[in-house]
Chains A and B, each alone.
Chain A
Amino acid sequence: MEESQEPIIEFKGVSKTYITGTHALRDVNVTINRGEFVFVVGASGAGKSTFMKLIMREEKANAGEIIVNHFHLNRMPKKQIPMLRRTMGIVFQDFRLIPNMTVFDNVAFAMHVTGAGNRTIRKEVSKALSRVGLGNKARSKPLELSGGEQQRVGLARALVNHPDLIIADEPTGNVDPNMSYEIVGLLSEINRRGTTILMVTHDHNLVRDFHHRVIMLEDGQIVADNAGGAIV
C-alpha cells in the first residue's frame, strides 16, 4: 500500500529530561506518515526507549508537542490514555504472554478490553492467528511454543484490534536470526495492508535487508533519518 502524506506521529521540538537530570531527548522534530514502516536504531541510552514511551504516553514530554493519531499527548487528560493505546498495537521484546492462558485467550484478552462481543472475538482472534500462521495453535499454552511462535502470538495480539499503528520494541531481540527475518517479514506484510509500523531494533542486518525508513538516535537527538530516501 502507498504511504499517505497524512502524519500519524508528529514530534515538534520535543525534549524530555527525567527527574534524575538525564536529558533523554533534546529538541526532536520528526513526522511519520500513515502507512510507513520505520526502524528506530541507536546505541543503548541514545533515547530510543524514551522516544517510544512518549509515543505510547508512558512518559510526558517536558517541552514541545507530540501528536499521535490526532491525540495531542501533552494536552490530553489522563483518562484518554487508554483510548490512545487502543489505536495502537504493541509488540514487546519479552512477548508478555500470560502463561496460564491459551494462545487464543492471550489474543482475545486485548479484545475484551475494548468490550467486544464473544462472536466478534472468536472471529477476529481466529483471523489474527491465521495471519501470523498460528491458526492450529489456538489451544496451546505459550510455554508449549518456540520463541518465534510466542512472538507471533504477541503480534497477533497487537493486530487483533486492527490498530492504525504497531509499535514493536525490539521484537526480534529474543528470537533466533531466521525467526527474526520471519517476524520482520510478517510486520512488512502487515504494513503493506496499511498499518504503520514503528520498530526499534539493534539488528543492522534486518535494517539493511528490509528497505524501510530508518531513524537513528544518538545522545537524545535524531542524527540520521532517510525519510523519502534522503539521509537527513
Chain B
Amino acid sequence: MKLRSLRYLTKEGLKNIWANRLMSLASIGVLVACMTLIGLAILLTANVNLAMRNLETQNVIMAYFNDRNSVLYDNATLSSDATASAQSGDVSAESGVSSENASASSSTSSDAQSATSSQFDRDNIPEDSYLIHNEEEARAVCDEIAKLDNVNSVEFISRDQALAEMEGTIDDDVLASLLNDENGNPMSHGARITMTDLSRFDETVAQIENVTGVYKVVSREDTAQQITMIKNGIGSAGIWIIAILLVIALVIVSNTIRVTMYNRKLEISIMKAVGATNWFIRFPFIIEGVALGLLSALISEGVVYFCYRVAVESFKSSPEFGGGIIRFSEMAWQLLGIFAAIGVLAGAVGSLIMISKYLRKEGSEFRAL
C-alpha cells in the first residue's frame, strides 16, 4: 500500500469517529469503564503487594550465636526447666513470636558445641566448646549471614541489648532470678534477620543455620507461608480480573466496529466495485478502533487518577494505611502504557476480527447490499 494511501485511509478512519460519533461515544464510555476497573485492579494489587512486602520484611527471624551462654543454657535445659523457658521467652520477645513456635524452630549445633553435650560442667566450660568468644566474632557472623542472597537485612543484637529488650516483656521475678544467676546475663549474641522473598523461606533458614557460628534459628514459618499464599492469591486474582476485563473490552470494540461496518455497507460495496483490496477496506476501521482505544486510554488515566486520589484521601486518615500506599505518580506512566496497550490491542484486534469476518461473509462481494 502506498504511503499516500495510508495517509488517506488514516484520515478516513479518524473522520469516521466523528461521523459515527454516537457509537464512538458509547464505545469510549464502555472502554473507559473497563480500563478504569483494570487500572484500579492493578493499583489495588500493587498496594496489597506493597503491604505484603512490608509484612515480609517485618517477619523477623532470630539467629542465636554459638557463644558461651548458648552452651551453658542449652545444656542447662537438660536439668533446669526454668532457665530454658526464660531463654525461650527471650527469643519470643525478640522475634515477636510465641514460645510454642519458638520451641518448634530448628536448631543446629556446631562440632565444638556437640563435644560438650555429653559432659557438662557449668562452672568450667572450655573455651573451645563454643565458637563465638566476643562481640567482634559475633558481628563477623552477621556479615556472613548478610551475604546470603535472600537476606534483606541483618541487625546485630548483642547480649546486653537482648537483655535490655527483654525487660518489660518477661515476668519481673523470672528476670530477677536470671540476673541473680552466678553467670550473669543469660542471653546470647544474635541477629535479627529479614528476608526478601518469603517463598524461599525454608531454603534461607537452612542457609542461615549452616553459617558457622550460628547456634539456633527461631522463626515463624506459618506466617511466612500465609503471606506467600496471600501474595500468590492476589497475583492470580488480579490476572483473572484483568484478563476478563480485557476480553470485555475486545468484545465492545468489535461490536462498535461491527455496527459502524453495517452503517457503511454501501461504502464497502463501492470500494469493492472500484477495485479496493481487503486491506484498503480494513485499514480505516483499524485506525478507528485504535484511535478509540487510545482516546479511551487517556480518559481512563484521568478517571483512575481521580478515583485513586479520592480513595487515598479517605484511607490516609487510617493509621494502617498511612505509610503503605503507592503514590499514583509512581505508576502513572506504567498505567498509561497498559491502557494504551489495551486500547491499541482491543481496537486493532477487535476491528480486524469484525471486518475480516464481514468481508469473508456478507461483504465479500460488492453487490451485497
Contacts and interface: CB of A to CB of B under 8 A. Distances in A.
A210 to B, nearest CB: 25
A113 B1 contact: no
A192 B269 CA distance: 29
B367 A113 contact: no
A94 B269 CA distance: 12
A84 B276 CA distance: 11
Contacts of A77: none
Interface in B258-282: 266-267, 269-277, 280
B277 A79 contact: yes
A109 B12 CA distance: 11
B361 interface: no
B266 A112 contact: no
A82 B270 contact: no
B8 interface: yes
Contacts of B365: 58
B367 A85 contact: no
Contact of A112 (B8, B19, B367): B8
A55 interface: no
Contact of B273 (A83, A96, A98, A114): A96
- Most A CB contacts (10 A, CB to CB) among B4, B19, B270, B275 go to B275
Given A58-B366, A96-B269, A110 B1 contact: no
B21 to A, nearest CB: 13
Contacts of B4: 115, 117-118
Contacts, number: 52
Contacts of B270: 96, 98, 109-110
A109 B274 contact: yes
Interface residues of A, number: 25
Interface in A128-159: 157
A207 B267 CA distance: 32
A108 B275 CA distance: 13
A79 B280 CA distance: 12
Contact of A82 (B2, B267, B269, B277): B277
A96 B274 contact: no
A110 B269 contact: no
B267 A98 contact: yes
A85 B274 contact: yes
B152 interface: no
A100 interface: yes
Contacts of B272: 85
Interface in A178-210: none
Contact of A85 (B2, B19, B275, B369): B275
29 contacts: A58-B366, A58-B367, A79-B277, A82-B275, A82-B277, A82-B280, A85-B273, A85-B275, A86-B275, A90-B273, A92-B273, A96-B266, A96-B273, A98-B267, A100-B19, A110-B270, A110-B274, A112-B8, A113-B271, A113-B276, A113-B280, A114-B275, A115-B1, A115-B2, A115-B4, A117-B4, A118-B4, A157-B274, A161-B274
A-B interface, 3 closest residue pairs, ranked by CB to CB distance from nearest: A86-B275, A85-B275, A115-B2
Interface of A: 53, 56, 58, 79, 82-86, 90, 92, 94, 96, 98, 100, 109-110, 112-115, 117-118, 157, 161
